[in-house]
Structure 1
């Protein structure tokens, strides 16, 4: 995988947590998310109608519905929990680390859900990753006052939402162009967040320039950069490499948040981040070729465990 593409993905994905922090200071989470996705969805729909119509050929209503569900899980559900956690006071670095355990959880669930072998080393990596999350979370909770304890569970919900979307994507038989997937996902998010903002009476954007700075930051860097590059890198290079990059998000975000917002970054935070990085090394060293069986009883082609956790359906 191209080094520049990898670096761009890490920075752009991490920028989403920083942008959420920027937006949290000027408006409600659903207000920021509504204005992030509503204009974007309209632009993408127009581009699809005028330029990318060929990408939609061959897709059925069922294919579009599946992408709608994937978008609701991987974008709407995931982002809502990230923004809510940060608005509740959870640091951007802690939120990024909790969300960054997604590859470990997906790898662990590959066994019971996809009938794939998960080694003891991979289970060890999962527990190391969880330990790192616990260490950083405790450090964050002790350094920041006024954050309800249950707020630290909110990012876990978003992480599980992304895991669910990953497994649903793994069972997608029809290839879907990244431009089509992004259009459907953003349109889904626009509908979801507009409905939520209307329900809470939070559709009106604030007058502060910082709000529109946060929205522009999120659209350009996070949506087109982070979210777009996530699926691009996933399809070009596979989930194993994406997983490795995902574990770089937490340290990058923690350092970025400390420099930009003065968020806590002490010895305990560094130890927790180190445990998370060790966890991914343990998991990837524990990969082995596996053979899965379908309903016909015939063996499928060997593939790494977590590679097929995302791409087994294609």
Structure 2
């Protein structure tokens, strides 16, 4: 089951970069993102108000406020940088590759922030993955011309936003139903992107069928598939394990981009894919060391509600 979840996560998360490129051909980033989230947020809100009332049981205003912050970082901030970079001409594969540096930042911060310490073997895997990212990024950047150098810095901002959202969510003491979290996140993004689109005078959607095909792709595969599975895998497998899978996003996206948009895919890209696969195998085989605080009574805290490992009991 975990293997299937991981495979589904990699495929559906990488589909978001492809969907972003599909939408970029028809509309601006904020227009695409507005129409990706506004109808979805309305549908989720209607479902939550009727059959989904149990999702909110036991949640406080503080819990919902935390989810608004998570949604603003992991959806609004992250996706805006991805879409804007692709709109500027950065290839979908390169954007995914730059985002692939996320595991190194998350691995370095997991110990002091979550008490989830990365083992030596897992650090080896993370470094292998970073090498794969570097190999494919240099190959892709060399094959693409006419893109401003600063445009390649934009996806780094999105990567940092996603890392921040992951830590905010992982430190939460309250278990939030996945559909409740998704509803809050999508509603937050709908407000943010609608406001940006209105301010830019770009709220009107294109009438081209290809635009709505891109929206359907993004809602079905990327939001419910990739984004939903990200949090599920995080809770089941832990932060280091889910971030190791992020190393596969760039090579998989590069394959998609080559097949759908004739983006470059050469020997170095294949080498990067091999390094990414090796990194995931090494990280998954290495145990993560956790340090648990000890209560004054000398007893270890109960597992109930403990989320320092990124899992629920």
Distance 1:295 1:27 in 2: 55
CA contact (8 A) 1:70 1:168 kept: yes
Pairing 1:128–2:108 present: no
Displacement, 1:228?
1.6
Pairing 1:260–2:260 present: yes
| Distance verdict in 2 for CA 1:234–1:130, change over 3 Å | closer
1:170 counterpart residue number: 170
Q: Summarize deviations over 1:259-309 as a string: whole Å, max 9, x none.
A: 100001111222233333333334344434332336869685799xxx945
Describe the SS at the equivalent of 2:310.
helix
Distance 2:207 2:116 in 1: 53
How many equivalent residue pairs?
Answer: 310
Pairing 1:225–2:236 present: no
| Distance verdict in 2 for CA 1:114–1:259, change over 3 Å | same
1:60 counterpart residue number: 60
Pairing 1:20–2:59 present: no
CA contact (8 A) 1:104 1:280 kept: no
CA contact (8 A) 2:294 2:301 kept: no
Distance 1:299 1:288 in 2: 22
TM-score normalised according to structure 1 size:
0.89
Structure 1: 5+ residue runs without aligned partners?
none
Distance 1:40 1:238 in 2: 28
1:81 counterpart residue number: 81
CA RMSD of aligned residues (A): 2.6
Describe the SS at the equivalent of 2:205.
coil
Displacement, 1:21?
0.7
CA contact (8 A) 1:18 1:253 kept: yes
Displacement, 1:24?
0.7
TM-score normalised according to structure 2 size:
0.89
| Distance verdict in 2 for CA 1:18–1:9, change over 3 Å | same
CA contact (8 A) 2:248 2:276 kept: no
Structure 2: 5+ residue runs without aligned partners?
none
1:113 counterpart residue number: 113
1:270 counterpart residue number: 270
CA contact (8 A) 1:110 1:309 kept: no
Displacement, 1:58?
1.3
Displacement, 1:110?
1.4
| Distance verdict in 2 for CA 1:289–1:236, change over 3 Å | closer
Distance 2:50 2:118 in 1: 46
Pairing 1:158–2:158 present: yes
Pairing 1:71–2:59 present: no
CA contact (8 A) 2:95 2:155 kept: yes
Distance 1:233 1:206 in 2: 35
- Between 1:147-156 and 1:189-198, the stretch displaced more is 147-156
